[in-house]
Structure 1
Amino acid sequence: MMAPMWGKWINCRVRPGARADFAAGQRRWSAIADQPGLLGQLGGWDGTGRRALLYALWADRAGYDRFLRERHDAIATEAAQQGSWESIRVAAGPVVQAFPGTAPTLPDALRHATVLRAADCRLHPGRAEHFLAVQRDVWAPGMAAAGGLLAGTVTRLAADRYLVTTLWTSPEAHTAYTTHAFPALRARADVPVDVATLTGHVVPLEPSWHVGWAGSSVGSLTGVRR
């Protein structure tokens, strides 16, 4: 069985007046587009405009670890973003589920998405199995039926912390989902049974922050290991 894909979540609080500097530095990360194992990276600003949120997807942990060893520090120095942010939080872990949508692969979804929806969930102890079953049986088919979903992932960031990310074709499609489908799905999921705290983000994606992919066949929306 193939190793699971690897997801990375970056949450930066940017200094007042430093948005342009941060964004300029973020565009320099396009240099990693040729990195073996990278399936794609994207991001944008949250609703306050003070926080930059980014999600990257790797074919496996080995490729991600190789990037950290061989290239990360040099590119971070070249990007010169350190002075533009007040705080940065980085978490990474295995992708334990993938949600199908209209995109044939996850790299395709990363490439074409215009909106990222993310739910950073900290679970009650012992609720992970039920939480994942609800993602698979309630949320995944419900979102796909709503229209506009390209794909999604569930990344385990810690023992009881999971990041649910979904990628959408347009702001209009995402708004239609939240208006018409989301309330009933949330009621069916009975979220508080599993989730102790949830931090949600809706991120309009910055096209210039997209880091492309090289046509890898990795990133199928079937067969993701739990």
Structure 2
Amino acid sequence: MIIKKISCHVPPEAKQVFSEQQAMWNALKQCNGFLGQFGGWEETNSYTASIYSFWETLDDYRHFMEHTHDSIVEGTNQQKTYNSISIDLFERQFNLSEERDIYNVLEKAHFVRIALATVKCEFIPRFIYFQQGIWNPGMQQAEGMLGGVFARSREVENQFLVLSGWKSAYDHRQYMQSFFPSLLEAANPKRDVSFLVGEQFSIQETWRVSR
């Protein structure tokens, strides 16, 4: 599975138009290998639109980019509504829960939390081991956790993405209060990570595209 991370900086006066045009991406449903897309306004910077799309294979994604992407962009005229855009591709390594796959998140999540970690190369195996052995079981105990993915950047060998979907922002806050502190202490990611940044947002329903 390929995860495409899109980040757009949108000036205040263009947010409404950007949002309306983001709702015009339903043509994605017709693309082979498309699994779903969602996005929202990042909580710590309300002028940053975070969008994630999911594809079965890299070939499916490349075919979309070569044959369909530009026509959708031209149809929405969305490129005129943001000051800058950054795009990153990740490849899924494993799910955060064996019982709750990404379709559960794509269809039911209303809140998303993402961690982007640049890991010291010599500690990558330990970082992955702790994700599977500490973080995943801990998150699975939290009420309202719908699933997610652990993915590796296709461009930067030591960059990883952890994306989890939640029924609500409240459920995520409860997890942060009740589970996160002990998991953080047990995993102690500061030993392994040289740079860590998080983002979170409530999903804008009009931006959600399901298969």
Relative to the length of structure 1, the TM-score reads: 0.88
Output the CA distance in 1 between the equivalents of 2:24 and 2:124. 37
Maintained 8 Å contact 1:101/1:150 = no
Point out the more displaced range, 79-88 or 133-142.
Answer: 79-88
The answer for unaligned runs of 5 or more in structure 1 is: 214-226
Structure 1 residue 101: deviation in Å?
7.0
1:164 to 146, 162, 165: 162
Write the deviation string for residues 46-97 of structure 1: whole angstroms up to 9, x where unpaired. Answer: 1231000011111111111111111011111112111211111100021112
CA distance in 2, matches of 1:28, 1:108: 23
Separation in structure 1 between the aligned mates of residue 160 and residue 74 of structure 2, nearest angstrom: 30
| Mapped contact 2:18–2:81 kept (Cα < 8 A) | yes
Q: Which residue of 2 aligns with 1:184?
A: 182
Q: 1:42 touches 1:55 (CA, 8 Å); kept in 2?
A: yes
1:85 aligns with 2:82: yes
Amino acid at match of 2:33: G
Look up the SS of the partner of 2:137 in the other structure: helix
Q: How far apart, in 1, do the equivalents of 2:80 and 2:98 lie?
A: 39
Are the counterparts in 2 of residues 102 and 149 from structure 1 also a CA contact under 8 Å? no
Instruction: For 1:200 and 1:131, locate their aligned partners in 2 and report how far apart those are by CA, in whole Å.
Output: 17
Deviation at 1:20, TM superposition (A): 0.6
SS of 1:65's equivalent in the other structure is helix
**Structure 1 residue 64 corresponds to structure 2 residue 57:** no
What is the CA-CA distance between 1:173 and the residue it aligns to? Answer: 0.9
**CA distance in structure 2 between the partners assigned to 1:136 and 1:181 by the alignment:** 16
The secondary structure found in structure 2 opposite 1:130 is helix
Alpha-carbon offset, residue 102 of structure 1: 6.4
1:194 aligns with 2:189: no
1:28 equivalent to 2:24? Answer yes
Give the aligned residue type for 1:110. L
SS at match of 1:8: strand
Q: 2:201 aligns with which of 203, 210, 213?
A: 203
Q: Distance in 2 between matches of 1:55 and 1:128?
A: 24
Deviation, 1:166, is 0.2
Q: What percentage of residue pairs aligned between the two structures are identical?
A: 29
Say which SS state the counterpart of residue 67 (structure 2) adopts.
helix
TM-fit CA distance, 1:39: 0.9
Output the CA distance in 2 between the equivalents of 1:49 and 1:93.
Answer: 24
Residues 90 and 161 in structure 2, CA contact (< 8 A), matched pair in contact too: no
In the TM superposition, residue 24 of structure 1 has moved relative to its aligned partner by 1.2
Asked whether the equivalents of residues 121 and 199 of structure 1 are also in contact (C-alpha less than 8 Å), the reply is: yes
CA distance in 2, matches of 1:44, 1:207: 9
Aligned length: 208
Inter-partner Cα distance in structure 1 for 2:19 and 2:197:
24
Give TM-score, length-normalised by structure 2: 0.94
